Structure 1
């Protein structure tokens, strides 16, 4: 089977770690200092359940509740990773607004492939958003939820596997074989 191409946008408030998650996944290292993103695209090929995928990861600029989201964030994007930081309740509130804008722009009530991610779970002493709150929000949206740490490379790969599976489910198919490898 030929590889399937998937475009995935990472969205969320500024400084929640969208770029760190992306770089950790694509390049296998954590970047301590990173210039705020305007928009950057990364590519990585993975094999998941017997199917090869070429992932184009669109690392977006940080959003806030008032930002106008560019049309490019909605055109030709197959799935969305919505990221908040567990040490910022503001970023959790913003991700809810981004999700609502996403539904409005897509014109779809259900079925938009989304994974909700609480990043920076290594910052246990600074936590403002309990795990249960993230799980509850994801459940209300009927989307997968994952807490991660880009710094410690915790659950980073899982996020991207989950979004690919959500895209496949939304398109009415699932990869055939079990087991997953990253190349």
Structure 2
């Protein structure tokens, strides 16, 4: 499941990952579903990506966001203080929803190509991820630095065999 604030570029990341093209402007998402097969370290994964409307600090997580989900990717824009603050709230809501279950989480700072507009440093993102015991990376849909790297990093950082098995069947939701 991938969760992010509405200005984080989630739809551009999704389209770049699934279709291999950058879309600079995209209508606000209601819900789109994509599927993709990927291979990470010789292991095939079937992903179902559901791109839904972005979250904010007032959004209520439907219970379905915790059913059969085996990992979460939280996305913020490096050009938005608001998205960085909202991703913290979303993380708290996520923990409230899944309870004490240890679920793999990755924090992704998107839009790293917008150097002149950057307001959140890479170090701030890393520090937040470390405080959550989560993996971290920055991405750019425009520069085609997208989700494949995320899955490779998750595979490298999560050597737990149970997690690997779960990812094989995971439905990844783009929020």
Which of the five TM-score ranges fits, normalised by the shorter chain? 0.7 to 0.9
Q: Which has the higher contact order (CA 8 A, sep 6+)?
A: 2
Q: Aligned in 2, Cα 1:170/1:19: closer, same or farther, shift over 3 Å?
A: farther
**Alpha-carbon contact 1:10-1:60 (below 8 Å) kept:** no
Tell me, yes or no, if the aligned pair for 1:114 and 1:166 is still in contact at 8 Å.
Answer: no
Q: 1:73 aligns with which of 48, 65, 74?
A: 65
Q: How does 1:39-78 map to 2 (within 5 A)?
A: 39-78=31-70
Give, in whole Å, the separation in 1 of the partners of 2:107 and 2:60: 21
CA distance in 2, matches of 1:106, 1:86: 27
More helix by share: 2
Match of 2:134 in 1: 143
2:93 pairs, out of 95, 98, 101, with 101
Q: CA deviation at 1:74?
A: 1.7
TM-score by length of 1: 0.82
In structure 1, list runs of 5 or more residues that go unmatched: 1-8, 175-183
In structure 2, relative to structure 1, the CA distance for the partners of 1:78 and 1:165 (3 Å cut) is farther
What is the TM-score normalised by the length of structure 2?
0.86
The residue aligned with 1:19 is: 11
Is the aligned partner of 1:117 residue 2:108?
A: yes
User: In 1, Cα distance between the equivalents of 2:72 and 2:163?
Assistant: 17
CA contact (8 A) 2:70 2:163 kept: no
Unaligned runs of 5+ in 2: 166-175
Q: Distance in 2 between matches of 1:16 and 1:172?
A: 27
Instruction: State the partner residue of 1:162.
Output: 153
